[in-house]
Each structure stands twice: as structure tokens, then as C-alpha cells.
Amino acid sequence: MDQVMQLFPAFLLVLCRITSFLVAAPVFSTKTIPGTVKVGFGFFLTVIVFLNVGFDKPVPTDGTFILAILREILAGLLIGFTAYLFFTIVQVAGSFMDMQMGLGVANIVDPLTGVSSPMLGNLKFMLQILVFLSINGHHYLVGAIMNSYKWLPLDNELFRTVASGSLTSFLARTFADTFTIALQISAPLVVSMFLIDLGLALLTRAAPQYQVFVVGIPIKILLGFAILILLMPGFSALFQTIFDQMFAALDKLFVIVGNRTP
């Protein structure tokens, strides 16, 4: 019993990191998964991590234990948030496409996240989830949170890393990179819609009797869906590229928070 009580604080710290990771990580944080399933999965995953990694060093249970809990929660949220940033790429790209096609006001409720999202963004987000599950990406995420203890043990200095500013610059750079990728994904359709708008403007100057606002919106929607169908076969390779960059960003995050060189 004495040995169990010595290991129990370390088990609680591992549970805090795992559960906070599941709250922010893609796929695992979806609202379609019941809360009891998330709690049970987090507990059993904590047991597996605790038994595989091994935490022989006793954790002090004085006033610093509260800071250790906050530190572990922050670590789990950082790992999950970094992974989730790359899943928002398709939603941002879809909002750009919807705006140009005239579907900007036709937002729908995403059943996975429970928030309002653009139509094309929601469609591509579901496709991205399917591709992610087909390549066993959720296994890689579980492996990432397990390997995080090699870079960020329980007696880490995460607060000092945050205070140094390196973590903030990494998150800002990652956010900028994901926004750039979203612009690149939406560029073909956005440019096509701009050329269609330019053609309609020339048509208005040449034949003012045409009601461009009546004719232009259906034309933009039909041509937008036609272009989207042409781009659809390349989405699988595009999603895999996004996932590769996501795992590379996670490796870079572990290097930064671990204060090590890759």
C-alpha cells in the first residue's frame, strides 16, 4: 500500500496530461463520442502509458503538486492544440471557397465539433477525418502522447519554456503556416471565381440588359462545384501532406518543450 501511495501522484499527473490531450486532440475531442467513453479511454490509456514508460521517481505531494498538475494539463493541451491546428486548414479553405461561390451565409452545424462551419469546409473536414482514420492517424496521435514523456518527463520545466517565448513563437509560426496552406488549397477555386466575376463585369458593360445578380450567382455556384469535382481526386494526397506536416510540427514541439536539439 505504501508503494501504491507513492506511485499514485505520478499516476494522477499522467492522467491529467492524457485527458487534457483528449479534450483538444482531433478525432478524440469530437462531440459524437460520449463523455463516459472519453473518460474510460483516457483512464486505460493512462494505465498503459504508466506501465510502459515507468515512473519510479517519487513525485512530491506538497504545494508544488498543484503546479505540476497545471503543468501537465498545459502540456496535454499544447500537444492536442498543435495537432488540431492542421485540421482547421480545410475549414478555413472551405470558408474562402464558400465566400467566393456565394455560399458564405449557408453555414451548417458540424456534428463533430458542434459549431457552425461552412458547407465546403464541413465536407472536406469529414473527408479529412476519413483519410486520417484510414491511414491509422489516430494511432500516431496516441503514439505521440506516449512518446512525449521521453521529451517532457514529469519533472519538466514547461513554465520556464513558456516564459522564454520560444513556445509562443512556435505556435505563431505554426498558425501562420496553416493559414498559408489554407490559402494555397483554396487558391484554384478562388482565382477561378475571380475570373468569373471579371467576365460577368465585362458582360454587364457590354450588355447592360442582363441581370447579372440574377444570372451570376447560379453560374458561380455551378462552375464552383464543377471545379471542386475536378479538384476532388487530389484531396487524398493533399490530406496526407497535411498529416506529414502535422507530425513534423509535433516533433518540433517536443524539441522545443524538451529544451533539446533534434
Amino acid (one-letter) located at 252:
K
Helix 64-85 × helix 137-151 angle, to 10°: 140
Q: Coil, strand, or helix at residue 108?
A: strand
125 alpha-carbon distance from chain centroid: 11
CA atoms within 13 A on the CB side of 246: 25
Contact 154, 17 (CB under 8 A): no
Residues near 132 by Cβ (< 8 Å), separated by ≥ 6? 26, 27, 138, 239, 243
Q: Is the pLDDT of residue 135 over 70?
A: yes
Contact 76, 21 (CB under 8 A): yes
Residues near 108 by Cβ (< 8 Å), separated by ≥ 6? 116, 117, 119, 122
- Name the residue with higher pLDDT: 160 or 262: 160
Name the nearest CA neighbour of 146 among 21, 82, 53, 54.
53
Q: In the prediction, which pLDDT does 261 show?
A: 44
Tens-place pLDDT, residues 39-97: 888 888 888 888 877 666 667 777 778 888 888 888 888 888 888 888 888 888 877 77
Contact 93, 109 (CB under 8 A): no
Phi-psi region of 114 (alpha: psi -120 to 50; beta: other; left: phi over 0): left
Name the nearest CA neighbour of 147 among 1, 56, 257.
257
Q: How far apart are CA 87 and CA 246, in angstroms?
A: 9
Residues above pLDDT 70, as percent of the chain: 85
Contact 185, 90 (CB under 8 A): yes
Tens-place pLDDT, residues 103-121: 665 555 555 555 566 677 6
Q: How far apart are CA 154 and CA 131, in angstroms?
A: 34
**Cβ count near 39 (within 10 Å):** 12
